[in-house]
Amino acid sequence: MNADTPPPTDAERWQADPVGMSLPKLSPRSRQLYTTYWLAWRRFLAGREVPLEAASAIEAVAFLAGERLNPTTQARYRRVLGQVHAGGVLCGALPPGNPFEDLGNEVPRREQPRSVAFTPPERALLLRRLEGWHPLDVQPQRDRLLISLLLSEGFTLSETAAAKVEHLSRGEDGVWSLEIGGPRRSQWRTLQLSELTADALQAWLPRLPKPETPLIPALPGMRGPLSRQPAFRAVQAFLNQALQDGVLRRLPGDTGPAALRNSAIVAWLSEGVPHAEVLRRAGLQRLDALDRLAPMLDDRTRDALYQTHRVQDAAGVPHGPLEPAGEP
């Protein structure tokens, strides 16, 4: 840019990239999808010879009806196009008014964010609480190991249920490893366990009778793995106690086992762990799987994630369908 050329105004930047200016925290894939929505709206207006600045709810209703969308997709169109229009008004590119404003912008139940996580500082507080918790009874010892596998190692609940004593190994350096897996090839990996998990493991292993015993059994016979509902209750009991003791100030929504796993992944991303390594640790195959956690990342971490997306797109790496979950 010439030194004498003034930088573009917000209105000019919006005109060049209306979706990106109005919804700056979108992933590259979602931005691409929502840009197709906007272009379809612009083509519709052009066909009716209606300037964007003069578009009203009449055109908006006709456009949505003509697209023949299912209710969920139509709600997303209304929400996204309304937000892009609002962004244009906010930066002065469009006059006041929004053709989608009175049409409703509710988020369909299927698209409501299902992913919650604790922030890295909150996770650190919970890990310290686990470090200081040394129960003597059988069930609390099992629950401590379960929570450590979720919160420290980032395992899924189904992976903890599938783990058996025989899947454990210990190196010459004394470091414990656990082979973990699932139906997808990407889920199979061997991970070194943290000192916290190893401590919980050493307290728990003497309780287990056989190598084929589930690592996290339902008790008391220890033949079957812990099922979902008791595991959920164990996690909630731990978190509620942390809340009562002032370790936590809030619970971010539906805080079950998945929230602990999500917290581990968010922490790894925030620490700058390479994205390929995050995927390996979490047993995930594609980078798109991390997009659902993007709203929980700080700007720097989210931008780094999206930059990796752009690099993969440029390299032609395949990814999942262009249907976001819970955005924007």
Task: Report the CATH number at residue 214.
Answer: 1.10.443.10
Residues 97 and 133 in one domain: no
Predicted local distance difference test score (pLDDT) of residue 225: 83
- Is 326 part of a structural domain of the chain? no
Predicted local distance difference test score (pLDDT) of residue 1: 53
Residues 213 and 84 in one domain: no
- Is 102 part of a structural domain of the chain? yes
Residues 89 and 141 in one domain: no
pTM for the whole thing? 0.68
Q: What are phi and psi of 298, to 5 degrees?
A: -75, 170
- Is 303 part of a structural domain of the chain? no
- Is 14 part of a structural domain of the chain? yes
Predicted local distance difference test score (pLDDT) of residue 253: 64
Domain span including residue 248:
120-285
Query: Which positions of the chain have pLDDT values less than 70?
Result: 1-4, 104-115, 182-183, 186, 220-221, 253-254, 316-328
Residues 27 and 46 in one domain: yes
Task: Report the CATH number at residue 18.
Answer: 1.10.150
Residues 139 and 96 in one domain: no
Q: What is the CA radius of gyration of the chain?
A: 25
Predicted local distance difference test score (pLDDT) of residue 198: 94
